[in-house]
Amino acid sequence: MIREITRPDFASFWPTFSAIIQAQETYALDPDMTQQDAFSLWCGSTLNAYAYVENDAVLGIYYIKPNGMGPSQHICNCGYMVASEARGKGIARLLCQHSQDMALERGFKAMQFNSVVSTNEVAVTLWQKLGFSIVGTIPKAYKHARLGLVDSYVMYKWL
């Protein structure tokens, strides 16, 4: 059900991706980016990206990439998205668990999220349940569409 993403997978997931970045509540991405730019950013050559597929529908995606180079190359970074109609079913949890397995397989020792919007309580709580800690708080780091400037968290787990 979770497999390497293809370009058609990404295209079929694009309405969700686009809605998420346009909402400006969770991701620090340009809300007006094109599908091509998004594909490069999420599935480009230095990344690995996966899709959660059920009955031919792409319900979730994630990427994994190094968060640093050289002396920090043991830390990876991931990002996850789930289609709105598929939320609350544990797909984000499955994706995160899968990404941790992939991380270990690729030799990473830790996983870091650089910008978890503090008001995204569902995500913060889920990452904490999965063993991540808030190791930093960036004040007024995110201009939330409804709430204005809010803090972002750096979250981290030694795998």
Residues lying near a second copy in the complex (CB under 8 A) are found at 21, 24, 27-31, 33, 68-75, 109-110, 112, 114-115, 135-145, 152, 154, 156, 158
Phi and psi, residue 61, nearest 5°: -140, 155
CB 52 within 8 A of CB 61: yes
Closer by beta carbon to a second copy, 65 or else 136: 136
Smallest separation (angstroms) from a second copy to the CB of 94:
26
Q: Minimum CB separation from a second copy for residue 97, in Å?
A: 21
Residue closer to a second copy by CB (options 48, 114) is 114
Q: Which is nearer to a second copy, 8 or 44 (CB)?
A: 44
- Say if residues 48 and 102 touch (Cβ distance below 8 Å): yes
Question: In the complex, what is the shortest distance from the CB of residue 83 to a second copy, in angstroms, rounded to a whole number?
Answer: 20
Nearer to a second copy, 65 or 74 (CB): 74
- Alpha helices for the chain (secondary structure H): 7-23, 35-43, 91-105, 121-129
d(CA 159, CA 13): 29
153 CB neighbour count, 10 Å cutoff: 23
